[in-house]
Chain A
Amino acid sequence: MASRAKSTRHLTVALIGNPNTGKSTLFMALSGVRQHVANYPGATVEKKVGTMSHGDLRWSLIDLPGTYSLAPRSLDEMVTVDVLLGRRVDVEPVDVILCVLDASNLSRNLYLLSQVLELGRPTVVALTMMDVAESRGISIELPELEARLGVPVVPIQASRGLGLEELRQAVERVSDQPAPARPKVFPEIFQREVDSLESVFIGPEAVPQTPGASAKIPDRFLIERLILDRDGFLESKLLESHSPAVAQAVRTARERLLAASCPIPAVETSARYQWAHDTLKGITRSNPKKTEGVGDRLDTVLTHPFWGMLILAIVMLVMFQSVFKWANLPMEWIETGVATLGGLVESSMPEGSLRSLIVEGIIGGVGAVVVFLPQIMILFFFLAVLEDCGYLARAAYLMDRTMVRFGLSGKSFIPLLSSFACAIPGVMAARVIDDKRDRLVTILVAPLMSCSARLPVYALLTAAFVPNRPVLGPFLDLQGLTFFSLYALGIITAAVAAWVMKKTLFRGGSTSFVMELPPYRRPLLRVVLYRMFERAWVFLQGAGTLILAVSILMWAALYFPRLPEDVTKPIHEKQTQLEAAAETAKSQNDLALAAEYEEEAGKLAGMLAGEQSRYSVLGRFGRAIEPIVRPLGWDWRIGSAAIASFPAREVIVASLGVIFDAGPEAGEGADSGRLRDALKAARWPDSGKPLFTPAVALSLMVFFALCAQCTSTLAVMRRETNSWRWPTFCFVYMTVLAYVGAFLTYQIGSRIG
């Protein structure tokens, strides 16, 4: 390491701490906006690295996930330990560990610190929440605490920038110094067991004598964990690469410890809390005020079974209203912007494949990505506010009773609820769920919630084919009931799917649920905005390219092969004639006649687009699969439109427009009647009967309610689970469900009429 001591030295600092200690705020204050977010390969935890320079030093600050303990229970938790021990190839070895401690709850925070100190790396403590501690009547003698811990302790207030410079200097100071002595937390007998297990690892029977094998001797910290974590992650991973002699040694060590009244795992918590107690003895004074604080009074209302639920409902209502209200306008801007840009290119380029690729494939594809941003950002703005002020945990408490019936926990509630606006932020918000099985199930059922992109489909088909008959007097009509049923269908299916998945795919494991209810705090706008932009960026970076690629593929499937010229030429000629006639009529001030000609030309253009779509790869595919969609009551045209909307379900309206010769814009705005009429007029070619009956419309809507027709959601799912397995599974099970649902709807619906 001495060789690095020249010119600009590089310093790798890892930031660790309990959740809700202000760790993220500190990370933000230290690293600013220069940070990189990605997944650790093979894991679903995010690797957040901020870079900055301080003096002649370049810092890499690694933000590790908040944790109460360094006992790895899963691959994801092992990532943290591996980073701290310098065992990962994709992360520089850590020079200094920066441990954030909450001054208002020191003994629990010291639990984690005692583990951190055992890693044997230079360490600095950042003490946060001093103001909260003071308000609770807790005072701490800092110099004495520093002396007892043997590492620098720097009080900070990251949101106001206080103590940051001292913290940086302390980190840089210790980076040159030897690591502090490992604290003696455990009784002597335990230490001896660690020693003897270490010698088993070094022993010839444990490690194969190959070059580089010495690297396989685990750190003392890991050997300690191996004894402590029964059925832990290490036991399965570390032992499989070593001989059975090691596993046997671990078992006998535990037996001996149990006999010496050091039962695993209880000995760890009692020893560490004893250490924390001894460390704090005589240097902290607390005269807890027996009176209720503001937080307690808030909690009596906010966690109340009735008032709490009522407030939760209001908060959620306000959140959704705002998402719909505020997201619509920027979404319209984006759509208009994309259309304008497309128009500009269209007018400045000659007609042809390249122009179509740029306008429909690329610009349209980028638009399809960007259009999600308003919803993602507004939802995450609210979620960040709710999380930062401490309310999210209360909401999870309130909903746990309900969610546990489907095998989930209260923490799944907000992600699933967010999915009613859009499944993308819903899937991303599932990150708050620390139980991995719960998190996966939540992600997998989130797309079943009827998102806002399904609304146009429901609206078009309900208005066209469901009679407006009253059901409950003036309160509810058949159309309203249809809407309600489609939403209910999504919720019920999600509940059943979650329950089934927990009973089959994600069986076993603990059903335990422990959650801290952090003290209420005023959220900081800076932190909230930072979080919001971070998620937006993660979406663009992690899913954007894939969505764009699929958009281009779909464009090609609809564009090629082109209609032969002998088909298009006469139509084009007719079109040109009509347009010229319209111009002449206009110049003669016969506006009515001009409009008639233009309408004729428009109809021709719609027909041409329809012909082309039927001739394309996608159209042919639609024809080929007609036997498959026939039992759903669909003809090949509906089938093609449904297939065309697999990348993004909202294009169904445009696809129906094209395929039923009404033109791509027929379903929008003032023209919406044209598509409705075209659909109503559509008939089966053989029997001449109307194609769309209420049963067919319902079957199509049920299909849309249940199907995973959203590349963006699947791409985000891949990003969040760091594997293709789960998006593939989700796509398959939802498509099967959608097919079965649509089949039953049509078969039953067409029989009762």
Chain B
Amino acid sequence: MNHPSVNERACAGAVPLNDLQAGQSGLVRSVDGGGDFLHRLREMGLCDGVEICMLRPGCPCIVRLGGQKLCFRSTELDSVLVDRAI
């Protein structure tokens, strides 16, 4: 799952959430878009500046977000950008 157009943006430091490898974590930089699905994720805590850790990448994926583990389909997640922690 490579997104060349988005990877270009990644040069600016942030990568789409689906690009996180298993075990990698990062800080959410921006969640763009007003769709119902993203709003649901926001309601559950996917906000700017929150630490997120990819536990199982793929679709659906499992992430750790705050004190919880969430599972969701990650096909529509190009608009969630995270600063990868090194």
Interface set of A (CB-CB < 8 Å, partner B): 68-69, 71, 73, 104-105, 107-108, 111, 136, 138, 230-231, 263-266, 269-270, 273, 299, 303, 393, 396-397, 400-401, 404, 410, 510-517, 519
Majority SS of interface residues in chain B?
mixed
Additional A-B contact list (19), CB under 8 Å, known A108-B68, A266-B39, A510-B37: A68-B40, A105-B66, A111-B45, A263-B34, A264-B34, A269-B39, A270-B42, A299-B62, A303-B56, A400-B73, A401-B60, A510-B35, A512-B72, A513-B73, A514-B40, A514-B71, A515-B70, A516-B69, A517-B71
- Whether A514 contacts B72 by the Cβ 8 Å rule is yes
Task: Name the contact of A68 in the complex, choosing from B44, B56, B72 (C-beta under 8 A).
Answer: B44
- Whether A266 contacts B42 by the Cβ 8 Å rule is yes
- Whether B60 contacts A397 by the Cβ 8 Å rule is yes
B7 to chain A, nearest CB (A): 24
Complex-state Cα separation, A519 to B70, whole angstroms = 11
Task: Name the contact of A512 in the complex, choosing from B43, B66, B68, B76 (C-beta under 8 A).
Answer: B76
Given A265-B34, A270-B48, A512-B37, are A517 and B43 also a contact pair (CB < 8 Å)? no
CB neighbours (8 Å) of B70 from chain A are: 514-517
- Whether A303 contacts B59 by the Cβ 8 Å rule is no
Tell me the B29-86 residues at the A interface (CB within 8 Å): 31, 34-37, 39-45, 47-48, 55-56, 59-60, 62, 66-73, 76
Counting from the closest, the 10 A-B pairs by CB-CB distance are A512-B37, A269-B42, A517-B69, A105-B67, A514-B72, A69-B43, A515-B71, A513-B73, A108-B45, A397-B71
Task: Name the contact of A136 in the complex, choosing from B35, B62, B67 (C-beta under 8 A).
Answer: B67
Given A105-B66, A263-B34, A397-B62, are A514 and B41 also a contact pair (CB < 8 Å)? yes
- Whether B73 contacts A108 by the Cβ 8 Å rule is no
Majority SS of interface residues in chain A?
mixed
Count of chain B residues near A, Cβ 8 A: 28
Task: Name the contact of B36 in the complex, choosing from A73, A107, A299, A401 (C-beta under 8 A).
Answer: A73
A-B contact pairs, 13 of them (CB 8 A): A105-B67, A105-B68, A107-B66, A111-B43, A231-B36, A263-B34, A266-B31, A269-B42, A269-B43, A270-B42, A516-B69, A516-B71, A517-B69
CB neighbours (8 Å) of B41 from chain A are: 514
Given A108-B66, A513-B73, A514-B72, are A400 and B60 also a contact pair (CB < 8 Å)? yes
- Nearest residue in A to B67 (C-beta to C-beta)? A105
Interface set of B (CB-CB < 8 Å, partner A): 31, 34-37, 39-45, 47-48, 55-56, 59-60, 62, 66-73, 76
B34 to chain A, nearest CB (A): 6
- Nearest residue in B to A272 (C-beta to C-beta)? B43
- Nearest residue in A to B74 (C-beta to C-beta)? A513
CB neighbours (8 Å) of A400 from chain B are: 60, 71, 73
CB neighbours (8 Å) of B39 from chain A are: 265-266, 269
- Nearest residue in B to A288 (C-beta to C-beta)? B67
Complex-state Cα separation, A269 to B76, whole angstroms = 19
Given A270-B47, A273-B45, A410-B60, are A512 and B67 also a contact pair (CB < 8 Å)? no
B81 to chain A, nearest CB (A): 14
CB neighbours (8 Å) of B40 from chain A are: 68, 512, 514
CB neighbours (8 Å) of B35 from chain A are: 510
CB neighbours (8 Å) of A303 from chain B are: 55-56, 62
- Nearest residue in B to A103 (C-beta to C-beta)? B67
- Nearest residue in A to B75 (C-beta to C-beta)? A511
B12 to chain A, nearest CB (A): 21
Most A-side CB within 10 Å, residue of B48, B55, B68: B68
